[in-house]
Structure 1
Amino acid sequence: MFSNGRGIVIILLFLAGVVNYLDRSALSIAAPFIHNELSLSATQMGIVFSSFSIGYALFNFIGGMAADRYGAKLTLFFAMIVWSVFSGALALAIGFVSVAVIRILFGMGEGPLSTTTNKMVNNWFPPNQRASIVGLTSSGQPLGGAIAGPIVGFISISYGWRISFIIIMLIGIVWSVLWWKLVKEKPESSSVQMKEEIASTVENPCIETARKLQFTFYLKQKTILFTAFAFFSYIYILFFFLTWFPSYLVDVRGLSIEEMSIITVIPWILGFIGLAIGGFVSDFSLKKFIKKGALFSRKLVLVTCLLLSAICIGLAGLVTTTTSAVILVALSVFFLYLTGAIYWAIINDVVDQSNVGSVGGFMHFVANIAGIIGPVLTGYIVDTSGTYTAAFLLAGGLAVFASLAVIFFVHPIIKPIH
């Protein structure tokens, strides 16, 4: 798994995830400072949170197509530079409009990360390891979210919130240099054994029958569309936690900025564990239920864990103590992240290699529309109702509905007979 140059690919993709969520989580941690300094309402903060996803969702799709056409290495290199620069640019914000515009451009830079990660994993690893590797590399994301609280909280209190975004920008630039110098797009052509290993696959008629199909064919398949819908519910819960949970702890639970910065680490740590092991759970399930097919094993883990996440996030809005709310949100994030690698594993299982980036980018684009809708809707609910309860219940209910949709509509893709 770590031999023949694969180790450096895993490490740098993992670190890319850390930087990605360090950058992304910084705004939610600094939100109380930004809210006060720039005099923004809850609805305006919701728009600011959502503005990121406008650029992000669009470039999920564009980034996937770029990875297929120009290569995942080059695409991710430029993406990291762009998002790092615009992360730092937030230090120049002077009001609501400037913050929103900068966050849109920042989101455009971050958009290609997951699709390029999936493409690199597809290039470097055999099918029976891909869910494990996607989960392992992506686990850097919640780890970045975990360290964002203490780091951004400390810097914001000690030196001002603007300085934290400049420091984060410099970290991303350093990563870009290392990525360009150390990583190749694919294994060396001389490594025949590795290429044969990657080309080999577990019995999977979906891949074999779909090799010559066009990208547009996949956009009509219920399996792709409802996997995207399940991913939509995943992103909705994730962005609800990512954008509003710190403010919820301060506004509703009465915690100080220092206390909030520390407590938000707990769900992120559980999320890190969930995402790190989720791919291994999925690949283990694949081996255990191989006779039932790859898709059955993926669905088993996806539906079970997404339902558990939905129940926990819904209950978190009903409990009366801070401790129980934090525990339930942490468990929700844990179960949610257990499914994090599976959406991509399904794409790898049913889509031919030449379309993995584009189809994965389409799925990610659809899913991240939740990142546009969710934060604004939550801000509106908070402004109009004065409570977060309905927002918690809405997030949980959506995931329940998505889980049922996966059961009934996600099936193996069959190539049409010509």
Structure 2
Amino acid sequence: MRTISERWRAWIIVAMLFLFMVVNFADKAVIGLAAVPIMHDLSLTPAQFGLVGSSFFLLFSISGICFGFLANRVKTKWLLTLLSLIWALIQFPMVGTVTLPLLVFCRIVLGLGEGPAFPLALHACYKWFDDRRRGLPHAIVQQGANTGMMIAGPLLTFIIVRYGWHHAFLALGVVGVAWTALWVLLSVEGRVDEVPADATASNALSDRVPYKRLLADRTLIGNLMLSFVGYAAISICFTWFPAYLRLGLGYSATSAGWLFSLIIAVQIPVTLALSWSSQRMLAHGISSRVARGLIASVGALVAGIAFFSTVVDAAPAFKVVCLAIGSVTSQLIFVFGPLMIGEVVPAPQRGAMLSINNSIATIAGLIAPALMGHAVGAVHGMSAGYEIGFAVLGSLLLMCALAGFRLLDPERSKLGVARNWTPGRHDAPSSQPAVDV
């Protein structure tokens, strides 16, 4: 039984990781919120701005994989400290005179620092909670992303309209430095090491499985497919949604900022409710295939229908609702996907596999914003260009949802991994037990 102070320590870490993701996604969202004045001031075409959005992902995947393998050996406290410093410091060049090459360079470096962020934050969180108790803390950390974009909408828009877009980047740099200082002072590494009675079917042993075996697993393949198309959706969201609301649907800058926040805000109660429901389902003996895999697949299916529906000749309010539904349900894979990875993959390899999955999936972020930029520039009628892009995204979501229904089965994958276990070193169980929720 843990003391009250030890339980509070775990939740302090969860709170700090939540704030970490808030800063992370505010940094991502600022480029979309400042899209119109940046394109105006730098005389950028939609295709050039699409290149700026995609440049963020140039080193994103490579960095994610490298840091993921480092996380198997280096404390996440120091890895997250380094990442947050990169984010903060690269904002300050945007305060002065900015050219297109400088803008692209800063986004590339920011992507290098943000590539490993989400998987390493989850890895740090999982060190404090066992598999059956990770649902709620995971959801809280993950909701930092939505909260970051939600706060960024009105707050950064106010700064951009009132003081100019340069000051928005300055504000994010200062916030990043402040978070880093607090993290260094407050963070402690968790040491949960799950060793259940039925060790043969567990992912919690310290034995290692060949990565080629893990990468060929059905659940991890299905998870990767849904994550890839989910990241295409999220990269289009923070790069092009605000511009679509303004230039495609005719909303003012202030209204677009608030609507962008509203679209993101819808995700928070929906995600928390589904996470709680999933955790309760698991507690009542319902399989992870249903409690995690089915929910994620249905989410992708609904998102595909919603994005495809933007092509309908309807009022702007209807299209905003479609964007809200699509943005909410397409992101459910980022709630349940990492939990399924943590369920299947041996604990010593969890950090690397979380990062590999995230890094491959985020290649979509390198492609999707640029393709959307070409669609917007090439199609006569700016609104039609956006909506063709959304329809393509919806079609991909529908196809990946069908694959998810077929492939996602963590219990079956866990047994398959156990049968192909590679004997290795067994570490002694940690003296620190899991935290009760």
> Which AA in structure 2 matches 1:328?
C
The aligned counterpart of 2:358 is: 364
The aligned counterpart of 1:190 is: none
Give the alignment partner of residue 215 of structure 2, picking from 211, 214, 219.
219
Cα distance, 1:273 vs structure 2: 2.4
Q: Does 1:36 find its partner at 2:29?
A: no
Q: Does 1:242 find its partner at 2:242?
A: no
Deviation track 1:359-413 (CA, whole Å, cap 9, x = no partner) reads: 1111001110110110001111111113222111111111111111122233432
- Whichever structure has more helix as a proportion of its residues is 1
Cα distance, 1:144 vs structure 2: 0.9
The aligned counterpart of 1:398 is: 396
Matches within 5 A, 1:185-334: 185-187=189-191, 195=192, 199-200=195-196, 205=201, 207=203, 211-290=207-286, 293-334=287-328
- For the residues of structure 1 that align with 2:408 and 2:163, how far apart are their CA atoms? 50
Cα distance, 1:223 vs structure 2: 2.5
Does structure 1 retain, via aligned residues, the 8 Å contact 2:139–2:272? yes
The aligned counterpart of 1:79 is: 83
- For the residues of structure 2 that align with 1:214 and 1:270, how far apart are their CA atoms? 40
* 3-state DSSP of counterpart to 2:80: helix
Q: 1:279/1:339 Cα in 2 relative to 1: closer, same or farther (>3 Å)? A: farther
* 3-state DSSP of counterpart to 2:334: coil
Cα distance, 1:209 vs structure 2: 8.2
Cα distance, 1:272 vs structure 2: 2.3
Does structure 1 retain, via aligned residues, the 8 Å contact 2:271–2:332? yes
Q: 1:204/1:297 Cα in 2 relative to 1: closer, same or farther (>3 Å)? A: farther
Does structure 2 retain, via aligned residues, the 8 Å contact 1:43–1:383? yes
Q: 1:342/1:350 Cα in 2 relative to 1: closer, same or farther (>3 Å)? A: same
- For the residues of structure 2 that align with 1:208 and 1:116, how far apart are their CA atoms? 18
Matches within 5 A, 1:333-372: 333-372=327-366
The aligned counterpart of 1:380 is: 374
The aligned counterpart of 2:18 is: 14
Does structure 2 retain, via aligned residues, the 8 Å contact 1:270–1:333? no
Q: 1:136/1:81 Cα in 2 relative to 1: closer, same or farther (>3 Å)? A: same
Does structure 2 retain, via aligned residues, the 8 Å contact 1:50–1:374? yes
Deviation track 1:271-291 (CA, whole Å, cap 9, x = no partner) reads: 22233334323323323453x
Does structure 2 retain, via aligned residues, the 8 Å contact 1:22–1:147? yes
- For the residues of structure 2 that align with 1:269 and 1:7, how far apart are their CA atoms? 23
- For the residues of structure 2 that align with 1:141 and 1:3, how far apart are their CA atoms? 24
The aligned counterpart of 2:431 is: none
Q: Does 1:153 find its partner at 2:166?
A: no
Cα distance, 1:242 vs structure 2: 1.6
* 3-state DSSP of counterpart to 2:331: helix
TM-score relative to the length of structure 1: 0.92
The aligned counterpart of 2:116 is: 112
The aligned counterpart of 1:96 is: 100
Cα distance, 1:295 vs structure 2: 3.3
> Which AA in structure 2 matches 1:14?
F
* 3-state DSSP of counterpart to 2:250: coil
Q: 1:333/1:417 Cα in 2 relative to 1: closer, same or farther (>3 Å)? A: closer
- For the residues of structure 2 that align with 1:121 and 1:401, how far apart are their CA atoms? 32
Deviation track 1:187-209 (CA, whole Å, cap 9, x = no partner) reads: 5xxxxxxx57x555899925268
Give the alignment partner of residue 387 of structure 2, picking from 386, 389, 396.
389
- For the residues of structure 2 that align with 1:144 and 1:160, how far apart are their CA atoms? 20
- For the residues of structure 1 that align with 2:355 and 2:30, how far apart are their CA atoms? 25
Does structure 1 retain, via aligned residues, the 8 Å contact 2:56–2:366? yes
> Which AA in structure 2 matches 1:369?
I
Cα distance, 1:210 vs structure 2: 8.9
Cα distance, 1:348 vs structure 2: 0.5
Deviation track 1:115-162 (CA, whole Å, cap 9, x = no partner) reads: 111211221101111132111111011111011121111111111110
* 3-state DSSP of counterpart to 2:17: helix
> Which AA in structure 2 matches 1:389?
E
Q: 1:16/1:319 Cα in 2 relative to 1: closer, same or farther (>3 Å)? A: farther
* 3-state DSSP of counterpart to 2:58: helix
* 3-state DSSP of counterpart to 1:80: helix
> Which AA in structure 2 matches 1:115?
P
Q: 1:229/1:202 Cα in 2 relative to 1: closer, same or farther (>3 Å)? A: farther
Q: 1:285/1:338 Cα in 2 relative to 1: closer, same or farther (>3 Å)? A: farther
Q: Which runs of 5+ in 1 are unaligned?
A: 188-194
* 3-state DSSP of counterpart to 1:53: coil
Cα distance, 1:97 vs structure 2: 1.8
Does structure 2 retain, via aligned residues, the 8 Å contact 1:145–1:268? yes
> Which AA in structure 1 matches 2:18?
F
Q: 1:384/1:204 Cα in 2 relative to 1: closer, same or farther (>3 Å)? A: farther
> Which AA in structure 2 matches 1:10?
V
Question: What value does the CA root-mean-square deviation take over the aligned residues?
Answer: 2.2
Does structure 1 retain, via aligned residues, the 8 Å contact 2:226–2:333? no
- For the residues of structure 2 that align with 1:18 and 1:279, how far apart are their CA atoms? 19
- For the residues of structure 2 that align with 1:234 and 1:416, how far apart are their CA atoms? 30
- For the residues of structure 2 that align with 1:53 and 1:93, how far apart are their CA atoms? 23
Give the alignment partner of residue 67 of structure 1, picking from 66, 71, 76.
71
Q: 1:384/1:71 Cα in 2 relative to 1: closer, same or farther (>3 Å)? A: same
- For the residues of structure 2 that align with 1:246 and 1:206, how far apart are their CA atoms? 45
Moved more, 23-32 or 219-228: 219-228
